[in-house]
Amino acid sequence: MLDTAIIGAGPAGLAAAHALKQRGLPYTHLERYTAPGGLWNIDAPGSPMYESAHFISSRTMSGFPSYPMPDDYPDYPDHRQILAYLQGFARDNHLDQQIEYGTEVERVERLEDGYRLTRQDGRTTEHAHIVIASGVQWIPNVIDLPGTYAGEVRHTVTYRSAKELEGRRVLVVGAGNSGADIACDAARSAEHAAISLRRGYHFIPKHVFGKPSDVFADEGPTMPMWLEQRVFGVLLRVLNGDLTRLGLQKPDHKVFETHPLMNTQLLHHLGHGDITARPGIATTSGTTVAFTDGTTEDVDLILLATGYHHAVPYAQDLVGDGPHPDFYLTAFSRHAGLYGLGFVETNGAAYVLMEQLAQMIAQHIEDRGARPDRWLEFENLIATDQPDLTRGIRFVDSPRHAGYVDGVAITRYLHKTAKRMGWTIP
Ligand SMILES: Cc1cc2nc3c(=O)[nH]c(=O)nc-3n(C[C@H](O)[C@H](O)[C@H](O)COP(=O)(O)OP(=O)(O)OC[C@H]3O[C@@H](n4cnc5c(N)ncnc54)[C@H](O)[C@@H]3O)c2cc1C
């Protein structure tokens, strides 16, 4: 029987390996780095990890369902704890021994029946199935700055520690969760710190009434989305007040319509004058940056926290050129036998979904040999089913939010689909 090749040993690849192993299905597992854990290996070349990084979803909601995070972890574990947790998952499920470390996949091609995989050393193997689990935060989206900036410009993928900011005049561009964390590092360490945001955001506190926010939301009553947006909108106004007093712009969208920005530390630093909020950049000249509101900053380092390209360089022709691969339920390609894990962009914790999807992929692969009728039935769903996974949220029109799904909606739909197929998922 031809096996499945899993590319990548981050959390997604480990979840896939675990699901196949549990069913006794053969697989080959390839990882270019020397250890499991994916981008949480801060020393892995090209990793976007930095010293001050913590999880933004809570320990309680974030672990694999089959392997919860340790009880003695804090509500929001740091990057070392996440790495230790992932390596524990690999070790305790005996996944380590089967990983070919130091093996980079260079090309995946479709054959008439299956796939040919080429490693960087030129060795090729054929596989019936491929699971792409190589991550989406490795290829930086580097934007062009307008004007003629003469200082240093770096993408945050190269940023590791606040020490790099000491004595510098720093501007962070963009306020995803990494941008906000690094702006806080700059607020504490740099000689001068500013952050440029093109729009206003809703800042979600990490705790609400003493509970991690995702636990609080999960334990609360189920509400229609319009009501949930209203209730949380009021709650955030009570907790954070009017953010324009801190120099931030008023959000141009409702709560939950962008990826949650879980950082109220930035508000703390803005309130203490440790960092200045600026709107989008209009132009630059020398070390002067002029913003769209006419204000200026003199900075010698610009850190671009402008996200990543969700590319799959070794199989781009198979996954398409869109901002996200157009896979059914974020995991099942229209090419039979091709799967992707870790492509899900959602407002919930990713590892629960990774394990649920990994279990579905393994059961679909098992059906191919054992229950061909059911395999065909699901192939038909992959080709035709187009569920709405937004739960009524109108995500903002941006590359990051193309293909974005609501965590509750996708979880419900995965359970419904698994039930229909007679599969079990956690
Ligand atoms: C700062 C930060 C905070 C985050 N916080 C959270 C959070 O709170 N909750 C949450 O759910 N998610 C969070 N995430 C999301 C994050 O994307 C996941 O935690 C996770 O690491 C993604 O897993 P992955 O396995 O898909 O990819 P990765 O972790 O990127 O792993 C991919 C693996 O594939 C390998 N690889 C790549 N290309 C090849 C190749 N060609 N050949 C062989 N191997 C290859 C890489 O070396 C890597 O080991 C956070 C991310 C960051 C950066």
Give residue-wise pLDDT tens across range 274-333.
999 999 999 999 999 999 999 999 999 999 999 999 899 999 999 988 778 889 999 999
Is residue 264 over pLDDT 60? yes
Average pLDDT in the 260-265 region?
Answer: 87
Cα(38)–Cα(163) distance, rounded to whole angstroms?
A: 24
Q: What is the mean pLDDT of residues 182-203?
A: 96
190 pLDDT higher than 90: yes
Is pLDDT of 135 > 90?
Answer: yes
pLDDT at 209 over 70: yes
Q: Which atom of ligand 1 is nearest to the CA of 50?
A: 1
Q: 283 C-alpha to center of ligand 1: Å?
A: 34
Distance 47 CA to ligand 1 centre (A): 9
The protein residue with its alpha carbon nearest to ligand 1, atom 14, reads 55
> pLDDT band for position 256 (50/70/90)?
confident
**Closest atom of ligand 1 relative to the 313 alpha carbon:** 41
Place of tokens 């949930």: 228
Alpha carbon of 311 to those of 316, 320, 334: distances in Å? 7, 9, 17
201 Cβ inside 6 Å of ligand 1: no
Residue 141 has pLDDT above 90, yes or no: yes
The region of weakest confidence among 73-77, 125-129, 188-192, 221-225 is 221-225
**Exposure letters 281-318 (e unless 16+ CB within 10 A, then b):** beebeebebbbeeeeebebbbbbbbebbebbbebbeeb
Cα 387 to chain centroid, rounded: 22
Q: What is the CA radius of gyration of the chain?
A: 22
Considering only 93-102, 183-192, 238-247, 279-288, which range has the smallest mean pLDDT?
238-247
- Structure confidence at residue 224 (pLDDT): 80
Average pLDDT over residues 197-205: 92
Mean pLDDT of the region 195-224: 90
Q: What is the pLDDT of residues 341-365, one digit of tens each?
A: 999 888 888 999 999 999 999 999 9
Tokens read off for 260: 């949650």
What mean pLDDT value characterizes the chain?
94
In the predicted structure, residue 65 carries a pLDDT above the cut 60: yes
pLDDT at 1 over 60: no
Q: Among 1-10, 170-179, 218-227, 249-258, which range has the highest average pLDDT?
A: 170-179
Find tokens 């040919």 and name the residue.
Answer: 116
**Residue 208 in contact with ligand 1 by CB distance below 6 A:** no
* pLDDT over threshold 90, residue 401: no
Rounded-to-10 torsion of CA 407, 411, 417, 423: 140
- As a whole-number percent, the residues of the chain with pLDDT over 70 amount to 100
Select from 7, 82, 95, 134 the residue to mutate for testing ligand 1; criterion: most ligand atoms less than 8 Å from CB.
134
Q: Would you say residue 225 has pLDDT above 90? A: no
What is the structure's pLDDT at 198?
93
Q: Would you state the pLDDT for residue 404? A: 86
Q: Give 230 Cα–ligand 1 centroid separation in angstroms.
A: 33
Q: How far is CA 120 from the centre of its chain?
A: 26
Instruction: State residue 78's pLDDT score.
Output: 98
- Tell me if 47 CB under 6 Å of ligand 1: no
Residue 256 per-residue DSSP state: T
Model confidence band, residue 55 (pLDDT cutoffs 50, 70, 90):
very high
